Amino acid sequence: MPNARRRSVTRALAALVPLALIVPAHAQAQAPVSGCDATALRLSLLGGTPVAPITANVGQADCQTAHQSLLDLPGGLPASLPLTATVAEARTERTSVAAARARITGLDVGTGGVLEPLLTPVRQQLATALDGAAIDLTALELLLNTLTLGQAGDLTVDVQTLADTLADNLGAQVAPSLVGAELLTAEAEARCVNGSAALSGRSQILGLSVLGTEIDANPALRQVTYIDAQHLDLGETLDIQNLLDGIYVEGLGKSLQDVIDDLGLAGATVNQITGLLDGAVEGVPPIEVPEQVLEARVTPDGQTSQPGSLTRTALHIELGVLGQDLVDLVLAEARVAASSVDCGQPTTPDDPGPSDPPLRGVRPGDGAIVDEALRCTTRRLVLIDVLRRGNRVRLVGAADRRYAGRRVRIRLLAGGKTVARPKVAPSGLFQASAKLPPRSIRNTGRARYQAAIGRERSLALKLVRRLVVTRTSARNGRVTIQGVVVRPHARPARAIVVKRRVSCERWRTVARVQPRTGGRFRITLRAPREGQAAVIRLETRVPGSRSQSRLYPTFTLPRYVSSGRVL
First CA to last CA distance, the chain: 64
Question: Would you say residue 566 has pLDDT above 50?
Answer: yes
The answer to whether the Cα torsion of 111, 114, 116, 121 is positive or negative is negative
* One-letter amino acid for residue 433 of the chain: S
| Top-confidence residue, 483 or 149 | 483
pLDDT level of residue 335 (50, 70, 90 thresholds): very high
pLDDT at 429: 92
Q: What percent of the chain has pLDDT over 90?
A: 17
Would 350-464 and 466-567 be classified into the same CATH topology?
A: yes
pLDDT by residue (tens digit) across 191-237? 887 777 888 888 888 888 776 677 766 543 333 333 333 444 555 55
pLDDT at 346: 37
pLDDT winner (highest mean) among 148-152, 209-213, 312-316, 354-358:
312-316
Segment 463-486 shows an average pLDDT of 87
| Top-confidence residue, 65 or 349 | 65
Question: Would you say residue 178 has pLDDT above 50?
Answer: yes
Question: Would you say residue 6 has pLDDT above 60?
Answer: no
Question: Would you say residue 518 has pLDDT above 50?
Answer: yes
Mean of the per-residue pLDDT values for the chain?
77
| Top-confidence residue, 139 or 111 | 139
Question: Would you say residue 133 has pLDDT above 70?
Answer: no
Indicate the CATH number for domain 466-567.
Answer: 2.60.40.10
Q: Which CATH number fits domain 350-464: 1.10.10.10, 1.10.3720.10, 3.40.190.100, 2.60.40.10?
A: 2.60.40.10
Report the b/e string of 296-309 with b at 16+ CB within 10 A.
Answer: bbbbbbbbbeeebb
Alpha helix positions (H), 308-403: 366-375
Residue from 458, 450, 433 nearest 374 by CA: 458
Interatomic CA distance for residues 149 and 145, integer angstroms? 6
Sorted by where each begins, the domain ranges of the chain are 36-46+68-113+175-222+308-319+326-340, 115-173+234-285, 350-464, 466-567
Segment 46-57 shows an average pLDDT of 84
| Whole-structure pTM value | 0.48
Cβ neighbours around 267 below 10 Å, total = 9
Cβ atoms of 560 and 429 within 8 Å: the answer is no
pLDDT by residue (tens digit) across 413-471? 998 899 999 999 988 999 999 999 998 898 888 899 999 999 899 999 999 888 988 88
Cβ atoms of 64 and 100 within 8 Å: the answer is no
User: Which segments within 158-238 are labelled E, that is strand?
Assistant: 179-193, 196-206, 208-210, 213-215, 231-232
| Top-confidence residue, 350 or 440 | 440
Half-sphere exposure of 325 (CA within 13 A, CB side): 13
